[in-house]
Amino acid sequence: MRLAVIDYKAGNIRNVFNAFQALGADVFLARDSKCFDEADALVLPGVGHFKSAMMNLSLMREALVSQVESGKPFLGICLGIQLILSGSSEAQEVEGLNLVEGVCPRFPDSKTESIPHMGWNNLDLLGEARLLEGVCGGDWFYFVHSFYPQPADDSVVGATTRHIIDFASVIECGNIYATQFHPEKSAQAGQKILGNFLSLVKK
């Protein structure tokens, strides 16, 4: 089983690569769409601006969407969960990958809580998301973001998190899995989620 971490010049790519490698995964960096056929699963991490990310993905976009729509397991992390949606208020003129219908609003201003949402927070688990098997609501995960995913269909939300508002922090839709938090920076709880994804790919 081979895992491709998509390298599109966004932040945090290497950290995700290293986290999967530490779990024993056969992982490689995919810098162009020709590499996608070599992979059994695709991972789209990232930290950065929505518009810049979509521009950097432009040459890979068609192949990436095709691979995911064909049923290949996919994991989006942080900016990756936002890119799979239809668009973001961070760059309203830019279309997302539209793998899951929805948008990414900015957190509303708050007198008591900061933007960006930065630091450790919990999950409110909804249903039985396969990506979250063995994860407890009291587990801590690391977040850094100012925009949040808002899927059109609530049934794809595997967990929510509270920061100013309740927002979707895990999406699970068929072969598509995504987290707003950084599992690669979330200690044992994060390793559990990455391990769960590897197990799902093997099935």
**Pairing between β-strand 74-77 and β-strand 176-179 as defined by DSSP bridges:** parallel
Residue 72's pLDDT band, with cuts at 50, 70 and 90, is very high
| Catalytic residue (choose from 117, 145, 163, 182) | 182
In the predicted model, is pLDDT for residue 203 greater than 90?
no
| Catalytic residue (choose from 35, 78, 104, 173) | 78
Q: Name the percent of the chain lying above pLDDT 70.
A: 100
49: amino acid identity, one letter:
H
Where along the chain do its domains lie?
Answer: 2-202
Fold of 2-202: Rossmann fold (3.40.50)
| Catalytic residue (choose from 145, 163, 173, 184) | 184
Q: Say whether 184 is catalytic.
A: yes
- Determine the Cα–Cα distance for residues 200 and 114; give it in Å rounded to an integer: 35
Q: What is the pLDDT of residue 58?
A: 95
First-to-last alpha carbon distance for the chain, in angstroms, is 11
- Determine the Cα–Cα distance for residues 102 and 133; give it in Å rounded to an integer: 25
**Pairing between β-strand 41-44 and β-strand 150-151 as defined by DSSP bridges:** unpaired
174: left (phi > 0), else alpha (psi -120 to 50), else beta? Answer: left
Q: Say whether 78 is catalytic.
A: yes
- pTM of the full structure: 0.97
Residue pLDDT, tens place only, 93-132: 999 999 999 999 999 999 999 999 999 999 999 988 999 9
Q: Say whether 182 is catalytic.
A: yes
Q: What are phi and psi of 147, to 5 degrees?
A: -115, 155
